């Protein structure tokens, strides 16, 4: 067997998009918050704060967030879409998608930047209300909302409850009547758009749990061509219900999407549906929510589109479609989450065990190398977190990047796999990345782009405690979510009551049969 040594050549085990770094000190700008840089000592800094100091004070794993970057990205979406749609409908309402990352402090930032906040559970709604978000700037999503969640939304006079099914139209309306209110409702529709993303986060095709289909249903005794789509029935039911103020319709085609065609097609189909509602009911619904799902860069391969470019493309389609249909342009709203919070944050880990394995390139899926007598090295670098703080690689096969964060990288780059400490072989944080060959125990690694769907999906698997979240602004770091302790884990355990013991009763010998 031929063994290929570590060298400065690209590994045949690497994916096609991963390039061999020419300068390991360089940070790819699109992956990081705007205030992250590498100091002259090689240590990463965020707004001037050293990651070595953060690790020393807060420990690792640690989510490190740039407050300035979050506010900047929120303002960019707000301003870009307002500019693009101002002449069409007076501007756009931007609702930050709280499911991507939410805590009380972040809800404060959302409120202060003038955005609305989209929630999808009673818990997320509670966080928003705790932060002082006005009900008029809140939305509530969910395919299976409880009566308690809906009642809370009605009592808080939410700006919108996004209804997801025919049953929910009646439930929301009836609960509103019971409270002496009219609920502000949008109907979530399924436009039948197949977005280019992972199947688990594509949400506008027919065969999934969300939304009301635009597809006509034909059943026994029904006239051919009669429109009986769930969406059409939901509109009729909502307009007729005294407890519902029907604002408009909503769609969300998926998440982590780079191409514009899906968004544009969804807009066209929903505007066409609004025209049908006008023709059938004599009502022009006033609002159209086109959802979110805009992609960000997790690796060098990803090329996210600027917010202004997305806004102009969508405005062009909405404007032209409304003109064709003779439809007044509805008030547009969008729901970016990942695109705002994702790049603001990196996760800081401490490396531990490392090892190098030899991998057969052919068995690894390389079509170019079929000689199974040749093996190539892959370096495994274990860190002190893993799938409990970032479940996306396990859930979606998501790719990430990583850099040595605590010193200047000097050794030759070697193809590496950053893995967690959980008792699962699939516990992979970064599947493929070039790291210095001497990366070892005690080094700090930073994984960018972890602001969205990492902390919120975190768990206590293997009884690991969930990490803290630190926000950095004006050269100062502060906790916005404290890390869990083992006492936090024990607090939910129900302790067994002390067994009553009669001193006169003999204690059975170990292994002796017990009697009733």
What is d(CA 305, CA 311) in angstroms, rounded to the nearest whole number? Answer: 10
Stated as kind and residue range, the H or E segment containing 511 is none
386 is in an annotated binding site: no
Helices (H), 95-223: 104-112, 122-130, 147-155, 166-178
What is d(CA 309, CA 315) in angstroms, rounded to the nearest whole number? Answer: 10
- Phi/psi for 80 (5° steps) reads -65, -45
Q: Sign of the CA dihedral 113, 256, 305, 269? A: negative
Q: For residue 75, with 0-12 CB atoms within 10 Å meaning exposed, 13-18 middle and 19 or more buried, which class applies? A: middle
Determine contact, residues 463/474, Cβ cutoff 8 Å.
Answer: no
∠ CA(263), CA(268), CA(272), 5° rounding?
145
What is d(CA 356, CA 382) in angstroms, rounded to the nearest whole number? Answer: 11
* Other CB atoms within 10 A of residue 506 CB: 8
What is d(CA 478, CA 456) in angstroms, rounded to the nearest whole number? Answer: 19
Which of the residues 103, 251, 423, 454 is marked catalytic? 423
- What are the contacts of 121-126 at 24+ separation with CB within 8 A? 121/149, 122/146, 122/148, 122/149, 122/152, 124/98, 124/99, 125/149, 125/152, 125/153, 125/156
Determine contact, residues 141/117, Cβ cutoff 8 Å.
Answer: no
380 is in an annotated binding site: no
Strand ranges (E), 25-99:
36-38, 44-46, 49-50, 62-66, 92-97
Name, in order, each residue with C-beta under 8 angstroms of 181's C-beta and a sequence gap of 6 or more. 154, 157, 243
276 is in an annotated binding site: no
- Phi/psi for 274 (5° steps) reads -60, -35
Determine contact, residues 28/296, Cβ cutoff 8 Å.
Answer: no
Stated as kind and residue range, the H or E segment containing 417 is strand 413-419
338 is in an annotated binding site: yes
Name, in order, each residue with C-beta under 8 angstroms of 90's C-beta and a sequence gap of 6 or more. 331
396 is in an annotated binding site: yes
Q: What is the largest CA-CA distance in the chain?
A: 92
What is d(CA 103, CA 112) in angstroms, rounded to the nearest whole number? Answer: 14
What is d(CA 144, CA 163) in angstroms, rounded to the nearest whole number? Answer: 9
Determine contact, residues 369/362, Cβ cutoff 8 Å.
Answer: yes
Name, in order, each residue with C-beta under 8 angstroms of 468's C-beta and a sequence gap of 6 or more. 58, 59, 62, 63, 479, 481, 482, 483
508 is in an annotated binding site: no
Question: 63: which DSSP letter?
Answer: E
Query: Is 423 in the active site?
Result: yes
Helical packing angle, 166-178 and 147-155, nearest 10°: 50
Closest CA to 117 of 513, 28, 130: 130
337 is in an annotated binding site: yes
Binding-site residue numbers for pyridoxal 5'-phosphate are: 293, 335-338, 453
The binding site comprises: 293, 335-338, 392, 396, 424, 453
Which residue numbers belong to the known binding site for substrate?
A: 338, 392, 396, 424, 453
Would you name the residues annotated as active-site residues? 423
């Amino acid at each position: 067997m031929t063994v290929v040594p570590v060298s400065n050549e690209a590994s045949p085990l690497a994916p096609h998009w991963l390039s061999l770094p020419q300068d390991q000190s360089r940070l790819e700008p699109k992956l990081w918050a705007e205030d992250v840089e590498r100091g002259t000592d090689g240590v990463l800094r965020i707004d001037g704060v050293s990651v070595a100091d953060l690790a020393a004070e807060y420990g690792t794993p640690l989510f490190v967030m740039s407050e300035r970057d979050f506010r900047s990205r929120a303002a960019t979406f707000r301003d870009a879409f307002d500019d693009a749609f101002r002449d069409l409908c007076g501007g756009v309402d931007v609702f930050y998608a709280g499911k991507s990352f939410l805590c009380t402090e972040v809800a404060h930032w959302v409120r202060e930047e003038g955005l609305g906040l989209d929630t999808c559970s009673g818990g997320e709604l509670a966080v928003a209300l705790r932060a002082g978000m006005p009900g008029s700037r809140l939305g509530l999503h969910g395919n299976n909302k409880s009566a308690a969640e809906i009642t809370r939304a009605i009592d808080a006079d939410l700006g919108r409850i996004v209804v997801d099914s025919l049953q929910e139209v009646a439930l929301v309306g009836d609960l509103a009547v019971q409270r002496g209110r009219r609920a502000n409702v949008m109907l979530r529709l399924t436009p039948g758009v197949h977005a280019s993303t992972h199947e688990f986060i594509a949400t506008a095709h027919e065969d999934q749990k969300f939304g009301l289909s635009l597809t006509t249903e034909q059943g026994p005794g029904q006239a051919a061509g009669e429109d009986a789509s769930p969406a059409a029935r939901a509109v009729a039911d909502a307009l007729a219900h005294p407890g519902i103020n029907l604002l408009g319709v909503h769609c969300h085609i998926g998440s982590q999407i780079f191409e514009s065609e899906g968004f544009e097609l969804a807009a066209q189909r929903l505007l066409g549906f609004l025209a049908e509602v006008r023709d059938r009911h004599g009502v022009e619904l006033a609002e159209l929510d086109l959802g979110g799902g805009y992609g960000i860069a997790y690796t060098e391969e990803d090329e996210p589109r600027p917010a202004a470019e997305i806004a102009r493309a969508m405005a062009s389609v909405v404007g032209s479609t409304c003109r064709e249909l003779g439809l007044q342009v509805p008030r547009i709203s969008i729901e970016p989450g990942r695109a705002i919070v994702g790049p603001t944050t990196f996760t800081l880990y401490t490396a531990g065990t490392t090892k190098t394995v030899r991998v057969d390139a052919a068995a690894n899926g390389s079509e170019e190398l079929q000689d199974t007598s040749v093996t190539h090295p892959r370096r495994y670098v274990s860190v002190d977190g893993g799938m409990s703080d970032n479940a996306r690689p396990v859930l979606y096969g998501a790719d990430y990047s990583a850099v040595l964060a605590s010193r200047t990288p000097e050794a030759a780059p070697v193809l590496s796999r950053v893995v967690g400490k959980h008792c699962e072989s699939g516990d992979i944080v970064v599947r493929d990345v070039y790291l210095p060959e001497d990366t070892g125990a005690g080094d700090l690694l930073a994984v960018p782009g972890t602001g969205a769907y990492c902390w919120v999906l975190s768990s206590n698997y293997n009884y690991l405690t969930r990490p803290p979240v630190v926000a950095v602004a004006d050269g100062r770091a502060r906790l916005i979510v404290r890390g869990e302790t083992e006492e936090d884990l024990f607090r939910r355990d129900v302790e067994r009551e002390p067994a009553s013991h009669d001193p006169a009763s003999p204690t059975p010998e170990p292994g002796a049969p017990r009697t009733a």
